[in-house]
Amino acid sequence: MADQDAQSQVGSEPPALSVLRWDELPEGPAVVLLDQTRLPSEEVELVCADVPALVRAIQSLAVRGAPLLGIAGGYGVALAAARGDDVARAAELLGQARPTAVNLGYGARRVARAHGAAVGQGAGPGAASAVALAEARALHREDAEASGRMAQYGLRLLAELLPGSAHRLLTHCNTGALVSGGEGTAFAVALGAHREGRLGRLWVDETRPLLQGARLTAYEAARHGLPYSLLTDNAAGSLFAAGEVDAVLIGADRIAADGSVANKVGSYPLAVLAKYHHVPFVVVAPTTTIDLDTVDGASIVVEQRSALEVTEITSPQIISAGSGGFRPAAAPVGAKAYNPAFDITPPELVTAIVTEEGVISPVTGVGLAELCARSSQVTIS
Ligand SMILES: CSC[C@H]1O[C@H](OP(=O)(O)O)[C@H](O)[C@@H]1O
């Protein structure tokens, strides 16, 4: 098997990625992003000087991943406040940029609420803008802290679930530092296992059509020297059949009150495979991804994306090999395509949900409410 068997360099940590930051530029404040559509071939920053630019970055997945979308939503509202733009309208535009990840609307509304409260108490534009920025920074910090705690709970759970110490973990999409204020969600658990010498192999689903696994998780795994192997999404079944998967670790974009999990398309088939092969299927997500106001999986809005993402080869590396942005066709011109960005895994297929407030297993709606009650971030509405 052709492994991307990076030298395991436990102990030699790469510099932290600057995934998203607030910057006071000569021309004014801005949200500065590591443009994830250019990875892994180019590490390029994207400067968003206003909310429309940030909305475009969210919709193109230059910035992506539920927890990071929440952070981006918060800084986006702070940017509107700093510019003297309509804060309520900014929160609405940001919240509508992508429908499935609950964190995006949560982050935008939380900062808008803080700004509104300051104004209501008589704060002038400058003071209220400072309050908004402070709330966005608090959200950023809390997510980084949540990432560390999820990794610890996740490692403890793997020790309970899996015998031995060379875990073979399969992950889907990208759930590392590129989706987080810290080291991520599910990927942070795999990274923690590696640091403890407990990671035998990280199986990385390429995750068609936008290749978050091949482009982003492989990039993060290589940076950390993880022993990883990339696979096409449709090769996962044969890995399970060969007994090569000890557990599945995935993230989430929205968890409904009944424990249904919305995550990158392809997660549900993995859950069915895991059930059939008696392999733990573990979801790792902060409580800001739990949405008690959405009663069940059928109520979750699943983002439908352009057919072109399926009918054209969209990997930036392949596009850059084309001429003038030409996108090689992967199908006849004009072919119709079904391109849901997410799918829904029912609670009965989920072994456990790992959050920064603890683990629920088996998943029950009551357990989710209890976890949210423990979290300082319970005000999702
Ligand atoms: C832990 S959040 C990461 C989550 O977000 C991804 O979706 P997208 O790349 O479209 O933002 C995917 O669902 C990941 O599991």
236-282: pLDDT as tens digits = 999 999 999 999 999 999 999 999 999 999 999 999 999 999 999 99
Q: Is 182 close to ligand 1, i.e. is its CB under 6 Å away?
A: no
Residues 229/204, Cβ–Cβ less than 8 Å: yes
Q: What is the mean pLDDT of residues 169-193?
A: 98
pLDDT of residue 217: 98
Q: Is the dihedral of CA 209, 210, 215, 220 positive or negative?
A: negative
pLDDT of residue 369: 84
- What mean pLDDT value characterizes the chain? 92
CA-to-CA separations, 330 to 61, 191, 308, 335, in angstroms, rounded: 21, 34, 9, 10
Task: Work out the pLDDT band at 315, boundaries 50, 70, 90.
Answer: low
Residues 6+ apart with CB under 8 A from 77: 87, 90, 91, 94, 107, 108, 111, 112, 115, 132, 136
Q: What is the mean pLDDT of residues 308-321?
A: 68
pLDDT of residue 372: 86
pLDDT of residue 352: 96
More confident residue, 5 or 246: 246
Q: Is the dihedral of CA 354, 138, 118, 89 positive or negative?
A: negative
Task: Work out the pLDDT band at 293, boundaries 50, 70, 90.
Answer: very high
Among the listed residues 230, 229, 227, 238, the one whose alpha carbon sits nearest the alpha carbon of residue 198 = 227
Task: Work out the pLDDT band at 107, boundaries 50, 70, 90.
Answer: very high
pLDDT of residue 193: 98
Residue 128: how many other CB atoms lie within 10 Å: 22
- pTM, rounded to two decimals: 0.93
Atom of ligand 1 nearest to the CA of 250: 15
Q: Is 37 close to ligand 1, i.e. is its CB under 6 Å away?
A: no
| 85 is a catalytic site residue | no
Identity at 167, one-letter amino acid code: H
Residues 6+ apart with CB under 8 A from 160: none
pLDDT of residue 11: 57
Catalytic residue among 35, 246, 253, 291: 253
Q: What is the mean pLDDT of residues 207-231?
A: 97
Q: Is 185 close to ligand 1, i.e. is its CB under 6 Å away?
A: yes
Query: DSSP E strands: which ranges in 45-92?
Result: 45-48
| pLDDT 10s digits, 337-354 | 999 999 999 999 999 999
**Which residue's CA lies nearest to atom 3 of ligand 1?**
65
Q: What is the mean pLDDT of residues 301-312?
A: 93
Tokens of 227: 């022993």
CA–CA–CA angle 168, 174, 179 (5° rounding) = 130
pLDDT of residue 6: 47
User: How far is 105 from 112, CA to CA, in rounded Å?
Assistant: 10
Q: Of the given ranges (169-173, 313-317, 371-375), which has the lowest mean pLDDT?
A: 313-317
Identify the residue whose tokens are 């290589």: 222
Helix, strand, coil percentages for the chain (3-state, nearest 5): 45, 20, 40
Task: Output DSSP code: residue 143.
Answer: H
Task: Work out the pLDDT band at 364, boundaries 50, 70, 90.
Answer: low
User: How far is 327 from 188, CA to CA, in rounded Å?
Assistant: 33
**Which residue's CA lies nearest to atom 7 of ligand 1?**
65
| pLDDT 10s digits, 39-54 | 999 999 999 999 999 9
pLDDT of residue 324: 56
Q: Is 264 close to ligand 1, i.e. is its CB under 6 Å away?
A: yes
Residues 269/253, Cβ–Cβ less than 8 Å: no
pLDDT of residue 330: 84
pLDDT of residue 164: 84
Task: Work out the pLDDT band at 154, boundaries 50, 70, 90.
Answer: very high
Q: What is the mean pLDDT of residues 223-243?
A: 98
347 burial level (CB within 10 Å; 0-12, 13-18, 19+)? buried
pLDDT of residue 363: 65
* ipTM of the prediction: 0.96
